[in-house]
Structure 1
Amino acid sequence: MGMMERAGIRRKNTLACLDSVEQASRGQFFTPLAVAEIMARMPRIPHSGTIKVLDPGAGTGMLSVAMVSYLYQHRPSLKIELTAVENDEKLLGALKDALNDCSSLGVTVRLVSEDYITWALESQERFDIIIENPPYRKLRAGSVHDRKLRNHGIQVPNLYAAFMALGVRQLSVDGQLVVIAPRSWMNGTYYSRFRKDLVGRASFNAIHIFGSRSLVFGDMNVLQESVIVCLTLGKKQSDILLRFSHDPSSRFTERLATVDEVIHSGFIFVPATQNDIDAVACMGQFRHTLDDLGLSVSTGKVVDFRSRDILVDAPDIFSKRLIYSANIINNQVVHPRTTLSKPQWIRCMDDKASKLFCPAGNYVLVKRFSAKEEARRLVSTVWASSEPSAFDNKLNYIHQSNQGLNPMLARGIALWLNSPQVDAYFRVFSGHTQVNATDLRHLKFPSSHALIAVARQNSNPETAFQELVNGNIEAA
């Protein structure tokens, strides 16, 4: 039995013994063998000399074994020095066995049984390759880790971003970081500082994305769009290798992309397939943002569990309609929705409550949450009301200076957002299940004139975009 097979067995046996609640609290999602093999092949490897490898949050040692196994097979003359950092005592037995396997190949191994964040902030050591599967857990504001990181100029909302930021800082000159993490850091407001810091310090060598959310960590019931990234400290690349496979075990396709195709507008795009390329190219002729159109997008103001005292099950003279994401069915608002087990009216009894309402008018509503597997990531509709109404915070709404829109413009925007082409483009840069207001602010639109013209022609989402692309309606 080879060392990779033994690593797979250790991972399986350890998972069977762990407490799922504690595992979730630590954000532990152990790297499957197939994923580890992909990651180990991504860095550029020298042919001789000494190479220092770091595995932060090493778990059962799967990534350590995969990296050492690959180096031993393809660069036998290299001298390998491996450091694994892990502070979960329940994993140390399996990790020590993994390091013993590595040691048997002549590798110099070291186990650091400390908290990685604390250790990394204090360590002056640098590494040629850092390979990591960091914990997937939010970083609580004001926590010990958050304060330590901020004292070193690192502001991140999640532990995996903290591990990535620290990893880049621990690289030697031209050193490489290979990491698997949720794709959500590539866009949105929460990670804007992190992205700026990362791109300023390192360059992308390769990005591997998966078509399936459920099969990457399939034996752990994880539904998360994951991405593998390989970065080099400092050195700027002219091209970035983009890879796509349905799952870790299936064959992949690849293409070279320019840096400008991948990094622009503060987001990280991954146009890995021809369909992705076509989607980006189609959108290239449109230039207007919502701000250019004089419009704004906001998140619904009602958080239902915080407003229980003013929510009611039936309307009265003081109540107005409350629209939830679940009220949108087939791109239409159904209100009230009898099968929805939530109060669908909200009382306006004082000035505090009145701030939750939008004036009468036409608004474009966009669902904030969707799944990659759904037919549409962008789900939009027009809400037209002759009286004030309120929107739940799982909806975004497009408005004009906090007032309603021209009804034809609202319809045109909804048609645009619901078109298959815009949806395909959105998937290229949105790697999570949320449609953030920030995403919509960055999205490009035709002119107001063109959007109104599409609406007046009674177009549908399947044809509206194509009519603009084909020049049947001016797209200026």
Structure 2
Amino acid sequence: MLSDIEQSRLAISKATDPKKKSRLGQFFTPATIARFMAELFTPNSHSHCRLLDPGAGIGSLCDAFLNRWISGDLKFKNVHLDAFEIDPFLQPYLMQTLGKYENISGFSMHIDISDFIITASEGISGNLFVKPLPSYTHAILNPPYKKIRSDSKHRSALRRAGIETVNLYSAFLALSLSLLKHQGELVAIVPRSFCNGPYYRRFRKFLLTQAAIKQIHLFLSRSKAFKDDDVLQENIIIHLEKKGEKRPIKISTSTDDHFYDLTSQNYPVEKIVLPDDTEQFIHIPTASAVASIAQGKNISWTLSDLKINISTGPVVDFRVKEHLRKMPGPDAVPLLYPAHFNSQGSEWPKPDIKKPNAIQRNNETEKWLLPNDFYCVVRRFSSKEEKRRVMANVVNPADFPEMTLLGFENHLNVFHANKQGLPKTLAYGLMVFLNSTALDEYFRTFNGHTQVNATDLKQIKYPSRDVLMALGEWALNQLELTQKTIDEKLEAITA
């Protein structure tokens, strides 16, 4: 028998226009997830709890927290809840959810219908005309997921509060963390995208400076945590302690919100955020193959050590439309897209693709072209259905006879040597390493989306140049490269 709040959630989710969901970034928390999140808070001797739910929706999360409190598991003598909800349609449902607690001794609440980002930011920034929000002992949140425009009122307000971030969910998380008392606890369900990439660099630094990570829970299925809202997103639940002591971090996983296959393991902090990582990527180790990449003594070189550079393809096609050509012709050179590569290598030109096959060579475009030579390339975007996230190919100059220059479109990452080609065996060795299962599984410990950035590939540790060359020599002598032979060879050569 579903609870009243769970019945409301399912009914509202089904009835809400998808365009509205997208506009507000609004997805409701299933009861099973809400209970799991509430269970993460540490029972302690605080007599007073001040709880923040900054995007309360219909009240699923604060309801789960309050249920745990009245059961006696959390020992607070009293609880005051501040619940923010800006959507007028949801406010009656929220009041109905919380109404059943009104007569509970020690409970008080305030439902705030203002914009949490504006209200919290103005208070934190010291706006004299705005009453600042109080400090909280606990925060529980499922924030909205939506990009913030750089010229929006939200971005301006956040900057005044000293917070620089690109999405509503990370803004909610940063503001809630700022409002916590020393050793206050926060539990949130959010997309995993902040764990890596340049766009969230400042946010990661803020989070890791302000708090200790106590636990991260990863849903292994992209589609099942919010299945009733058709959300296809890799989600995590993160448990933080404001200014807490850095202790081993629990990493738990389950396929979906039923938690029937829940597993957990503790990891030292330095395995989650590598000490020498200036980007401060947050790794979530879950795969058995991780050790061979993350801990292997023979896989400890940076691209800088190897004197290899990586860049996104310099040709941004929509900026050079007048120079693009459907097919090669006089004074034009190959323009390579991900569509020109497959498991067998490269295929160029391809008359049947919608993209151009060539770019005019002239004074304006020549600065974006590279010599026709050996390179290793990796697609910047993979589809969710593909088994591997990292997919590498070799550019072989023999495939482009009589061409002196090549264009690489911006949806490719290109390994090169200071804008020159790589030795043939090195290019093939890089390809083998990057196409291994062990590398792909390691990559997924810090990358939770389908985009593969040059910054991500720069953070990886690689085998030595000699080992990469040996892998390349081996690859060139194979009649066929399969996933099995690649994985076996990498294991043998790096053992």
User: Which of these residues, 341, 354, 357, is aligned with residue 354 of structure 2?
Assistant: 341
Instruction: Give the structure 2 partner of residue 30 of structure 1.
Output: 28
Q: Secondary structure at the match of 1:242?
A: strand
Instruction: Kindly provide the amino acid, as one letter, of the partner of residue 16 in structure 2.
Output: L
Counterparts of 1:224 and 1:80, CA distance in 2: 33
Please say if 1:411 is aligned against 2:411: no
Contact preservation (8 Å) 2:69, 2:75: no
Counterparts of 2:35 and 2:341, CA distance in 1: 43
Counterparts of 2:285 and 2:171, CA distance in 1: 26
Worse-superposed segment, 17-26 or 421-430? 17-26
Q: Percent identity?
A: 35
TM, length-normalised to structure 2: 0.90
Superposed displacement of residue 176, structure 1: 0.6
Counterparts of 2:312 and 2:458, CA distance in 1: 12
Please say if 1:440 is aligned against 2:457: yes
Contact preservation (8 Å) 1:102, 1:109: no
Contact preservation (8 Å) 1:293, 1:448: yes
Instruction: Kindly provide the amino acid, as one letter, of the partner of residue 108 in structure 2.
Output: T
Contact preservation (8 Å) 1:254, 1:272: no
User: Which of these residues, 159, 172, 185, is aligned with residue 176 of structure 1?
Assistant: 185
User: Which of these residues, 362, 365, 371, is aligned with residue 353 of structure 1?
Assistant: 365
Contact preservation (8 Å) 1:155, 1:193: yes
Superposed displacement of residue 15, structure 1: 2.2
Superposed displacement of residue 104, structure 1: 4.8
Counterparts of 1:371 and 1:210, CA distance in 2: 19
- Equivalent positions of 1:248-397 (< 5 A) are 248-251=257-260, 252-264=262-274, 265=277, 266-272=280-286, 275=288, 277-281=290-294, 283-330=296-343, 332-348=345-361, 350-371=362-383, 373-385=385-397, 386-397=403-414
User: Which of these residues, 136, 140, 143, is aligned with residue 127 of structure 1?
Assistant: 136
Counterparts of 1:101 and 1:285, CA distance in 2: 61
CA shift in 2, pair 1:81/1:284, >3 Å: farther
Instruction: Kindly provide the amino acid, as one letter, of the partner of residue 267 in structure 1.
Output: F
Instruction: Give the structure 1 partner of residue 126 of structure 2.
Output: none
Q: Secondary structure at the match of 1:169?
A: helix
Instruction: Give the structure 1 partner of residue 94 of structure 2.
Output: 95
Superposed displacement of residue 128, structure 1: 1.2
Instruction: Give the structure 2 partner of residue 217 of structure 1.
Output: 226
Superposed displacement of residue 224, structure 1: 0.8
Superposed displacement of residue 18, structure 1: 2.6
Counterparts of 1:77 and 1:240, CA distance in 2: 25
Contact preservation (8 Å) 2:290, 2:441: no
Counterparts of 2:27 and 2:340, CA distance in 1: 35
Q: Secondary structure at the match of 1:243?
A: strand
Instruction: Give the structure 1 partner of residue 473 of structure 2.
Output: 456
Superposed displacement of residue 280, structure 1: 4.7
Worse-superposed segment, 392-401 or 379-388? 379-388
Superposed displacement of residue 356, structure 1: 2.7
**Structure 1, unpaired ranges of 5+:** none
Counterparts of 2:91 and 2:157, CA distance in 1: 25
- CA deviation profile, 1:149-192 (whole Å, cap 9, x unmatched): 11221111111111111111111121011111111111111111
Counterparts of 1:428 and 1:326, CA distance in 2: 27
CA shift in 2, pair 1:323/1:167, >3 Å: same
Superposed displacement of residue 16, structure 1: 3.2
Instruction: Give the structure 1 partner of residue 250 of structure 2.
Output: 241
Counterparts of 1:374 and 1:433, CA distance in 2: 10
Contact preservation (8 Å) 2:44, 2:74: no
Instruction: Kindly provide the amino acid, as one letter, of the partner of residue 166 in structure 2.
Output: P
Q: Secondary structure at the match of 1:130?
A: strand
CA shift in 2, pair 1:77/1:361, >3 Å: closer
Superposed displacement of residue 217, structure 1: 1.0
Worse-superposed segment, 5-14 or 103-112? 103-112
Counterparts of 2:228 and 2:341, CA distance in 1: 34
Contact preservation (8 Å) 2:214, 2:248: yes
Instruction: Give the structure 1 partner of residue 82 of structure 2.
Output: 83
Superposed displacement of residue 466, structure 1: 4.7
Q: Secondary structure at the match of 2:304?
A: coil
RMSD: 2.1
Instruction: Give the structure 1 partner of residue 118 of structure 2.
Output: 118
- CA deviation profile, 1:3-32 (whole Å, cap 9, x unmatched): xx1111222222233332232122112222
Instruction: Kindly provide the amino acid, as one letter, of the partner of residue 93 in structure 1.
Output: P
Counterparts of 1:74 and 1:432, CA distance in 2: 40
Q: Secondary structure at the match of 1:455?
A: helix
Counterparts of 1:310 and 1:282, CA distance in 2: 47
Instruction: Give the structure 2 partner of residue 425 of structure 1.
Output: 442
- CA deviation profile, 1:265-315 (whole Å, cap 9, x unmatched): 211111145x16535555454111111111111111233333332222222
Superposed displacement of residue 73, structure 1: 1.8
Contact preservation (8 Å) 1:313, 1:344: yes
**Structure 2, unpaired ranges of 5+:** 124-131, 398-402
Counterparts of 2:81 and 2:109, CA distance in 1: 5
Contact preservation (8 Å) 1:49, 1:77: yes
Superposed displacement of residue 35, structure 1: 1.7
CA shift in 2, pair 1:331/1:72, >3 Å: farther
TM, length-normalised to structure 1: 0.93
Superposed displacement of residue 457, structure 1: 2.2
Counterparts of 1:381 and 1:179, CA distance in 2: 39
Instruction: Give the structure 1 partner of residue 12 of structure 2.
Output: 14
Superposed displacement of residue 136, structure 1: 0.9
Contact preservation (8 Å) 1:60, 1:92: yes
